């Protein structure tokens, strides 16, 4: 009995040890932050509860049957030789005496066909209804964002606003967002657990989904389909902003550098020259400059992003310098090569990119 209690205690601790951190984690999907994730979570819980009901009932009957109808031979075992013979007899008798046979019992057959049928119906109706609700267009009021998966970063394009950004998708709170999901290379999967379930990003194909955030905040997501070396480092953030802040971001996008003084302005101008003349411009675009590359993330608002290279580094000037001077040491195998810059060029280009906010 003591063993049993200990095992139960350890099991409970194990379950709590896993469940509590999972529930507190930023990607705990049963703590929805918008209507799509909420509807999906409710359907999941409905199915889970029905399944738990079946599990408890069936295993309850099984355990009851095992205990209630087990072979009782203890009494005879104590009486030695004679007991053994008696036990053999009991066993033989038990084999002969079959329990009541129920094969072909119409009433029972109908009952245990009907019960699963009704349970499946209870699951099927909301499943079909939700599938249609999720596939439906979120309406003319929706903001459209084209999501393109790249090895190993995310591109977000707002066709209605003429904006392109990377790895951080800014959205206004309380407004449905229609997502057009595509891939530039291999199959990726867009997933922001607190806002909505997963959706594949498949090359040569367009998938659609929608989501909405009810509260301002940062919602964490990541690629959910193995896509190569840095699949695990292909993170993203959805930044849900109050309408006014979102409008400010839209208005500021592409306005160019924000500087405090003349000295900074000079550094930023030099940095822009570096960006437009060294290899950077071939792969990155910055609105209002000669840089129009598309192999890497659009850097027009890089100074306002919170992370670098799909969530691998905090966006600070030190980390920006570290990334630009040697991306391969930060994210080995990443598709950004090392571009040899002098210390001055590096400092200026960091000043320039940091000012783009
Ligand atoms: C051959 C193409 C290529 C060149 C040249 C290149 N980059 Fe990149 N860059 C990329 C790619 C691809 C990524 C995304 C890497 C990842 O996250 O896996 C990237 C990422 C970045 C990021 C992080 C962007 C983000 O959204 O987090 C910055 C900043 C950056 N590059 C700056 C530069 C600068 C400055 C130069 C010139 C010195 C440069 N890059 C040259 C392809 C390139
Ligand atoms: Cu991936």
CATH label of the domain that carries residue 307: 2.60.40.420
Residues 160 and 230 in one domain: yes
Whether residues 49 and 73 share a domain: the answer is yes
Measure 325 CA to ligand 1 centroid, in angstroms: 11
Domain final residue, candidates 252, 270, 290: 252
The CB-side HSE value for 223 (13 A sphere, CA atoms) comes to 30
Q: Are residues 295 and 343 in the same domain?
A: yes
Rounded to the nearest 5 percent, the helix, strand and coil shares of the chain are 45, 20, 35
Contact yes or no for 213/195 (Cβ under 8 A): yes
Q: Are residues 178 and 106 in the same domain?
A: no
Sign of CA dihedral 104, 105, 107, 112: negative
- The domain tally of the chain equals 3
* 58/160 same-domain check: no
Beta partners for 163? 158
Cα–Cα separations (whole angstroms), residue 275 to 197, 287, 330, 331, 349:
38, 13, 21, 21, 7
Q: Are 115 and 197 contained in the same domain?
A: no
| Distance from the alpha carbon of residue 153 to the mean position of ligand 2, in angstroms | 9
> In this structure, is residue 123 part of a structural domain?
yes
79 is a domain residue? yes
Mutate to test the pocket of ligand 1, among 167, 296, 335 (most ligand atoms within 8 A of CB): 296
Closest-lying ligand to the alpha carbon of 151? 1
Last residue of a domain, one of 198, 218, 252: 252
The Å distance, Cα 275 to ligand 2 centre, comes to 29
Give the pTM.
Answer: 0.85
* In a shared domain, residues 31 and 129: yes
CA distances from 55 to 9, 66, 94 (A): 22, 16, 30
Q: Residue 295 C-alpha to ligand 1 middle, in angstroms?
A: 8
Evaluate whether residue 161 is within a structural domain. yes
Nearest atom of ligand 1 to the alpha carbon of 353: 29
Let me know if residue 212 belongs to a domain: yes
**pLDDT given for residue 88 in this prediction:** 62
Q: What is the CATH number of the domain that holds 80?
A: 1.10.287.90
Q: Domain boundary at 252, 287, 313, which? A: 252
117 plus 156 within the same structural domain: no
Give the pLDDT of residue 326. 94
- pLDDT number for residue 71: 81
Determine the residue of 163, 272, 327 to mutate for testing ligand 1's pocket, defined as the one with the most ligand atoms within 8 A of the Cβ atom.
327
185 and 203 share one domain:
yes
> Which residues in the chain show pLDDT less than 50?
76-77
Report yes or no on 10 lying in a domain: no
Site residues for ligand 1, CB cut-off 6 Å: 152-153, 166-167, 230, 275, 278-280, 282-284, 295-297, 299, 302, 308-310, 320, 323-324, 331, 334-337, 339, 341, 349, 353
147 and 239 inside one domain: yes
Report if residue 154 sits inside a domain: yes
Has residue 12 been placed in a domain?
Answer: no
Task: Please tell me whether residues 29 and 127 are part of one structural domain.
Answer: yes
For residue 8, what pLDDT is reported?
Answer: 83
Give the structural domain span for 328. 262-354
In this structure, are residues 199 and 153 in contact, taking their beta carbons and an 8 Å threshold? no
> Cα(339) to centroid of ligand 1, in Å?
10
Could you tell me the distance, in angstroms and rounded to a whole number, from the CA of residue 334 to the centre of ligand 2?
13
Q: For ligand 2, an ion, list residues with CB under 5 A.
A: 188, 223, 227, 231, 234
Residues 338 and 316 in one domain: yes
Give residue 63's pLDDT: 97
Residue 13 lies in a domain: no
Burial class (CB in 10 A: 0-12, 13-18, 19+), 96: exposed
């Amino acid at each position: 009995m003591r063993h049993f209690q200990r095992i139960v205690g350890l099991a409970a601790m194990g379950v709590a040890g896993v469940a509590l951190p999972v529930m507190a984690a930023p990607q705990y999907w049963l703590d929805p932050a918008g209507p799509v994730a909420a509807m999906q979570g409710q359907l999941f819980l409905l199915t889970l509860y029905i399944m738990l009901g079946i599990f408890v009932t069936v295993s309850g009957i099984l355990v009851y049957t095992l205990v209630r109808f087990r072979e009782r031979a203890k009494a005879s075992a104590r009486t030695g030789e004679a007991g053994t013979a008696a036990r053999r007899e009991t066993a033989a008798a038990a084999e002969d005496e079959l329990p009541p046979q129920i094969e072909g019992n119409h009433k029972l057959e109908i009952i245990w066909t009907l019960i699963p049928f009704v349970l499946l119906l209870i699951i099927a109706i909301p499943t079909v209804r939700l599938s249609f609700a999720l596939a439906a267009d979120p309406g003319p009021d929706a903001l459209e964002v084209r999501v393109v998966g790249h090895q190993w970063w995310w591109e977000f394009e707002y066709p209605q606003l003429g904006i392109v950004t990377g790895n951080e998708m800014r959205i206004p709170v309380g407004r449905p967002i229609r997502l057009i999901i595509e891939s530039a290379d291999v199959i990726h999967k867009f997933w922001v657990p607190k806002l909505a379930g997963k959706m594949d990003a498949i090359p040569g194909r367009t998938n659609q989904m929608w989501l909405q955030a009810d509260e301002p905040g940062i919602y964490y997501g990541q690629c959910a389909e193995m896509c190569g070396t840095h699949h695990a480092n292909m993170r993203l953030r959805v930044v849900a902003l109050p309408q006014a802040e979102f409008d400010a971001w839209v208005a500021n996008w592409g306005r160019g550098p924000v500087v405090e003084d003349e000295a900074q302005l000079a550094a930023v101008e030099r940095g822009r020259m570096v960006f437009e003349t060294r290899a950077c411009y071939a792969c990155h675009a910055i609105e209002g400059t000669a840089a129009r590359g598309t192999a890497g993330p659009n850097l027009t608002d890089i100074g306002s992003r919170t992370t670098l290279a799909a969530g691998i580094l905090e966006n600070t000037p030190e980390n920006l310098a570290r990334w630009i001077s040697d991306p391969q040491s930060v994210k080995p195998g990443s598709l950004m090569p090392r571009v040899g810059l002098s210390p001055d060029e590096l400092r200026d280009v960091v000043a320039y990119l940091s000012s783009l906010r």
